[in-house]
Amino acid sequence: MRFLFVLLLTSNVCAQIGTGQWRLHVPNRNALDVDAGNNMVYTAFEDGLMEYDISANETSLWTDVNALSDITLTCLEYYGPKNAVYVGYANGNLDKIVNNTVTNIPDIRLAQVTGLKRINRIVAYQNYIYVATGFSIVKIDPVKDEVRDTYYPTNGLVPIVDVTFRNDSIFALTSTKMYRGYTANPALADPGQWVVDSRVAVLSSSSIYKDIEVVDDQLYLLFSNPVHGQDSVFNVKNTGLEFVTNESFDLEINSIGNNGGKLAVNIDGGTIVYNSDYSHFSSQTGNMSVNNSFLYNDITWMADNNKGLIRYFGGNGVDIQFQGPPANSYYAMDCKKGKMLVTSGGLQGGTHMTYNSNGVYSFEDEVWKTKDKSNQTLWMGKNIWDYIAVAVHPTDTKKIAVGTFSSIPLSIVQDGEQVADTFTVLNSPLQSTIWNPEALITDLQYDESGNLWIANSFCSSPLKVYTKDGAWQTMSLGSSMTDKAITQIAIDFNGNKWMSVSSGGLMGLNDNKTISTLTDDKTITLNSGATTGNLPSNNVTAIAVDFNNEIWIGTDNGFAILYNSQGAFDASVGDGSYNAQRIKLEFEGNVEYVLGNTSITDIEVDGGNRKWFGTENAGIFLLSADGSQIVQSFTTDNSPLISNNILEMEFNQMTGELFIITDKGLISYRADASYEDPEYSDVKVFPNPVKPDFSGPITIQGIRYDSDIHVTDVAGNLVYKTTSNGGTATWDGKTLLGERVKSGVYLIWTAPNTGKGRKVGKVVFIN
């Protein structure tokens, strides 16, 4: 009996990060490539490289944040003579890893060529590394880490998908034909020195060639047919092609490889290893989709599309995984009391389904979990997809609301594990969209009482409430909101709801804290009119409520602030008395708006009441509490941020870690601010002890808001003082004179603006 189970690992890839540090959240299932050597197994994922130490049973994760030079990995190759691992990327970058040191070889990425630079395959042959790219084959010297030659079988016009060697020949594969050259020919840079191999038919249909491999001195070719299950592998003989994969079942083949001197065919369902007579040597199958496999130490190591790295031995498969989300698919987030939830769905063009069924991910206590159709009983076998909204209950983090664009638009999790209730257009007031029989939930927010506010977009009544008592209420927003989309809901400290309306500005609702009584409700709409809101644009893309109950409004043309949010509901319509304000600064004699006409995608408020702005193409800006100063900015040029296109952000306010969804993946940054703890119930000082090689900030977390911090030696002499950002303060480990403190014990005292001061911790320095 064959079975799969998860191997629990001692791992260094899931520890919390320090203040001012970044981490990339690498999906841990879609493994692209695998190789091994020196008792290590290396697995390439799209956003990182996992190193598995066989003897120690430990994993390490290499990413763009901690070592690698880039993201979007494509392939890898282990080169035994130098104990080196070569890592290729989609943009042509190439890394070499030796003795835990990364050397970047950027020549391909920097090449001035018109073709694609993507690295499709890396092959070690004799004393060189050969790289198949989107425009050529590049020959790398592994000693000098430099390009020795570049071969152009296709004149640089067609991508080389694979390269291999047999006898005196080098073979270059494109999607439609195979080229052949002689390895001893010094002029292979000349396209005229290559010939199309006549044994392999030139394709003109939608079928393609994907892979070539030499196994036991035989050349094998993978033919991919667009008809499902009709892929084939051929042995390229001198007399022509000989059919290898004569199976009685359909084959979806991902790749071919060398498994201990035998042909390995990696399929959707496992790996089949063939003898030289094409009979099965072994068949390793299960709930797998193997992208590549490799035999090392008599164990088959599989890079699997669904399970990550699999160790297969004796008929049993073991999943070797690090902590990470399951897929590189993210849309919206919510976090309460340390529980971070991320949805995986999307909307095509903002209005249509994408049929993404990856579910909802949770991240809590450094552990990622997934809720999807495979583990939620009420979702199994149902048409549920495009999970695009999620909300955590403010006092009970085990209660979660999930919104989708599908046959099950709303689900409620009561115990933190299983969906307990599902609501559709048939058993609730939820309404279908004007063009689709399914209901679209674009946002969800719990108020402080536990009532769930629901943006049910593109229907006659787009705002609904599922109360804490289990009752439903449809809110009346007026005829102007019929068939409109509410893209975001924010609830202020007075209980007012602020909603971004697709291309319609910002709407406010004051329900007078009587949800079931509609006659006392008040509404207000802010738009770009000079006396009706004066917003920078009617396209409101972000809403945030700060500690002063001010509403920060992001648009695709800058941001503005509604200062008197409560008074706006009683203001006269059309006289400009409820206009939002923009912050102006004088710079070099000119008066300019802060952030100008930057397209804002999200605004988040940290524990110190500072504002974090995500933008469409300019990265992240941190503004002071009043917005008058740019405290920091983060881009791909000055930080590990993987993209300047920010889609969504969310704080874990307990730790100050800001989670950032970009168009290239999920990354996070631990800021120097968090929510306060007025009871000092769990004060943390880290790192502690501070060792000689540590140069980052010492963080004091879990204190009162806006506290003055004093650091003294044990004799009571003042060493350092600062003020907290919310519940977090940092110390650079230096005295007031800028000198690193001596070895010893240092006491940390707080003096909040109200109440008595107290000692909250101590830290040990070892120099």
Q: What pLDDT digit, counting tens, does each position of 400-437 carry? A: 999 999 999 999 999 999 999 999 999 999 999 999 99
Q: Are residues 35 and 135 in the same domain?
A: yes
Q: Identity (one letter) of the amino acid at 172?
A: A
In CATH, what number is assigned to the domain containing residue 138? 2.130.10.10
- Count of positions (residues) in the chain: 767
Q: Are residues 206 and 331 in the same domain?
A: no
Q: What pLDDT digit, counting tens, does each position of 91-104 carry? A: 999 999 999 999 99
Whether 254 is in a domain gets the answer yes
pLDDT of residue 575: 87
**Phi first, then psi: what are they for 686, rounded to 5°?**
-145, 150
Q: Are residues 116 and 241 in the same domain?
A: yes
CA 101 to chain centre: 25
CA R_g for the chain: 30
List the beta strands (DSSP E) in 70-118. 73-79, 84-89, 94-98, 101-105
Q: Are residues 661 and 702 in the same domain?
A: no
Q: Which of 276, 298, 320 is the last residue of a domain?
A: 320
Q: Are residues 257 and 345 in the same domain?
A: no
| Lookup: tokens for 379 | 């979702």
Whether 589 has a pLDDT exceeding 80, the answer reads no
pLDDT of residue 751: 77
DSSP class of residue 221 equals: E
**pLDDT above 70 coverage of the chain, percent:** 97
pLDDT of residue 3: 34
Whether 366 has a pLDDT exceeding 60, the answer reads yes
Alpha helix positions (H), 288-387: none
| Lookup: tokens for 430 | 């939820």
pTM: 0.93
| Lookup: tokens for 20 | 């001012």
The b-or-e profile of 450-476 (16+ CB within 10 A means b, else e) is: ebbbbbbbbbeebbbbbeeeeeebbbe
* Rounded-to-integer distance, Cα 29 and Cα 35, Å: 17
pLDDT, mean of residues 664-673: 97
pLDDT, mean of residues 748-764: 78
Q: Are residues 21 and 131 in the same domain?
A: yes
**How many separate domains does the chain show?**
4
Whether 129 is in a domain gets the answer yes
Q: Which of 320, 350, 380 is the last residue of a domain?
A: 320
| Lookup: tokens for 72 | 């979007």
Q: Is 192 left (phi over 0), alpha (psi -120 to 50) or beta?
A: alpha
Q: Are residues 387 and 316 in the same domain?
A: no
Whether 190 has a pLDDT exceeding 80, the answer reads yes
* Rounded-to-integer distance, Cα 748 and Cα 675, Å: 19
If you write DSSP's letter for every residue of 434-495 in order, what string do you get? Answer: SSSSSEEEEEEEE-TTSPEEEEEESBS--EEEE-TTS-EEE----GGGTTB-EEEEEE-TTS
- Other Cβ atoms less than 10 A from the Cβ of 195: the count is 12
Whether 520 is in a domain gets the answer no
Q: Identity (one letter) of the amino acid at 573?
A: V
Whether 6 has a pLDDT exceeding 50, the answer reads no
Whether 504 is in a domain gets the answer no
DSSP class of residue 17 equals: P
Q: Are residues 339 and 465 in the same domain?
A: yes
* Rounded-to-integer distance, Cα 727 and Cα 673, Å: 6
In CATH, what number is assigned to the domain containing residue 697? 2.60.40.4070
- Position of tokens 């005229």? 192
Structural domain boundaries enclosing 37? 3-320
pLDDT, mean of residues 626-654: 97
Whether 556 is in a domain gets the answer no
Residue 107: its H or E element: helix 107-110
Q: What pLDDT digit, counting tens, does each position of 445-497 carry? A: 999 999 999 999 999 999 999 999 999 999 999 999 999 999 999 999 999 99
- Other Cβ atoms less than 10 A from the Cβ of 163: the count is 24
pLDDT, mean of residues 680-708: 93
- Other Cβ atoms less than 10 A from the Cβ of 101: the count is 8
**Pairing of the two strands 316-320 and 3-7:** parallel
The answer to whether the CB of 723 falls within 8 A of the CB of 709 is yes
Looking at per-residue pLDDT, the higher value among 359 and 8 belongs to 359
Burial of 168 (0-12, 13-18, 19+ CB in 10 A): exposed
Average pLDDT of the residues of the chain: 94
Whether 502 is in a domain gets the answer no
* Rounded-to-integer distance, Cα 560 and Cα 557, Å: 10
Whether 605 is in a domain gets the answer yes
Q: What pLDDT digit, counting tens, does each position of 312-343 carry? A: 998 889 999 999 999 999 999 999 999 999 99
CA 400 to chain centre: 21
Whether 532 is in a domain gets the answer no
* Rounded-to-integer distance, Cα 682 and Cα 495, Å: 30
Q: Are residues 729 and 594 in the same domain?
A: no
Cα separation values, 312 from 29, 271, 285, 486, 733, Å:
16, 10, 10, 50, 49
* Rounded-to-integer distance, Cα 7 and Cα 248, Å: 33
Q: What pLDDT digit, counting tens, does each position of 220-241 carry? A: 999 999 999 999 999 999 999 9
pLDDT, mean of residues 47-67: 96
Q: What pLDDT digit, counting tens, does each position of 340-362 carry? A: 999 999 999 888 999 999 999 99
Whether 632 has a pLDDT exceeding 90, the answer reads yes
SS3 (DSSP) at 327: coil
**pLDDT above 90 coverage of the chain, percent:** 90
**Phi first, then psi: what are they for 64, rounded to 5°?**
-60, -25
Q: Which of 451, 484, 517 is the last residue of a domain?
A: 484
Nearest to 554 by CA among 616, 609, 635, 469: 616
The answer to whether the CB of 209 falls within 8 A of the CB of 215 is no
| Lookup: tokens for 748 | 């940390």
| Lookup: tokens for 620 | 């992240």
Q: What pLDDT digit, counting tens, does each position of 601-625 carry? A: 999 999 999 999 999 999 999 999 9
If you write DSSP's letter for every residue of 112-172 in order, what string do you get? Answer: --SS---EEEEEEETTEEEEEESS-EEEEETTTTEEEEEE-TTTTSS---EEEEETTEEEE
The dihedral over CA atoms of 421, 427, 433, 435, expressed in degrees to the nearest 10, equals 120
HSE-CB at 373 with a 13 A cutoff on CA atoms is 15
* Rounded-to-integer distance, Cα 500 and Cα 442, Å: 11
pLDDT of residue 7: 41
Q: Are residues 336 and 307 in the same domain?
A: no
The b-or-e profile of 524-561 (16+ CB within 10 A means b, else e) is: bbbbbeeebbbbbbbbbbbbbbbeeebbbbbbbbbbbb
pLDDT of residue 13: 44
pLDDT, mean of residues 77-84: 96
Q: Are residues 630 and 715 in the same domain?
A: no
Cα separation values, 182 from 159, 169, 189, 236, Å:
20, 5, 12, 17
Q: Are residues 370 and 235 in the same domain?
A: no
